[in-house]
Amino acid sequence: MKKKTKKQIESLKNKASLGDPSSLHELAFYHQAGMYVEQDYNKALQLWKKAANKGFGPAYHNLVSVYYNGLGVKPNNKKAYEYLLLSIKKKHHLRAESLGFLAQKFYMDGLLRKRNLKMGLKYHKQAAKENYLPSQFNVAVMYDKEFDLEPGVKKNNKIAFYYHKMAAKNNFVPSIFRVAMEYLHGDIVKKNPKEALKLFKKGLKIRNLNMLRSLGYKNAEVGSNIINTWKSTIRKELKKSGLIN
């Protein structure tokens, strides 16, 4: 993020005072972070509320964080949930994250009421299609027979492959290796060892296996063991094919 000048901050404050929602939102962020202005959670809250009252989508999303994490207020999951529902109704750059958060926290984890797998899966799929990586991977592993971690979802490797491909395009190593496995075996797609090799090399260059934990994936240790097994299997099969030494 390029550093703001004093002149730019003054201009931002002036625009915010005139009710510009984008400026209100940005200034709220600076107050929460203590950047350029004094750190003031209450000021940030009020500014985000003003931006939200003007229908500014990202402000709804950040109000979710305020009430969920208790940033200057008492944690309130009910209010967080209400702002999530408002956030997903708007088209904005944080909408996919709101969808994924709604899916995982409020439906999969049952934060406010009884766990609802059907609704969790529905919103995770929406978030995945809007290019939210955690949801892409979560949907993939729910359907994936290799993981078999969600007994309430009927396993379907064809659907799992579809979502793993999404996550692989976002350079997520576990899904890159999973897609490579399918190209080696040819059960779902046409067998293509050269494509598997290409993906395998790509996966080896990226160091994000620990992202299983950062994505909030509860079975990170199990997942990591499976992924290491895939890596070993891919290497052996590529050697048999004569594509690597």
Q: What percent of the chain has pLDDT over 90?
A: 76
Q: What per-residue confidence (pLDDT) applies to 211? A: 57
* Contact between 45 and 73 (Cβ < 8 Å): yes
Domain for residue 101, yes or no? no
Domain for residue 124, yes or no? no
* pLDDT band, very low/low/confident/very high, at 131 (cuts 50, 70, 90): very high
Indicate the DSSP class of residue 103. Answer: I
What is the mean predicted confidence (pLDDT) over 143-166? 93
With CA atoms as reference, report the closest residue to 194 among 207, 208, 180.
180
Specify the range with the lowest mean pLDDT, choosing from 1-10, 161-170, 216-225. 216-225
pLDDT tens-digit readout, 62-94: 999 999 999 999 999 999 999 999 999 999 999
d(CA 115, CA 106): 8
Tally of domains in the chain: 2
DSSP for 198-234, written as a single string: HHHHHHHH---TTHHHHTT-TTHHHHHHHHHHHHHHH
d(CA 100, CA 167): 14
* Contact between 178 and 198 (Cβ < 8 Å): no
CATH number of the CATH domain containing 84:
1.25.40.10
With CA atoms as reference, report the closest residue to 68 among 59, 85, 80.
80
Domain for residue 122, yes or no? no
Residue 106 identity: F
Domain for residue 181, yes or no? yes
* Contact between 12 and 51 (Cβ < 8 Å): no
More confident of the two residues 69 and 1: 69
* Contact between 127 and 103 (Cβ < 8 Å): yes
pLDDT tens-digit readout, 139-151: 999 999 988 788 8
Structural domain containing residue 59: 1-93
Predicted TM-score of the model (pTM): 0.89
Domain for residue 111, yes or no? no
* Contact between 104 and 139 (Cβ < 8 Å): no
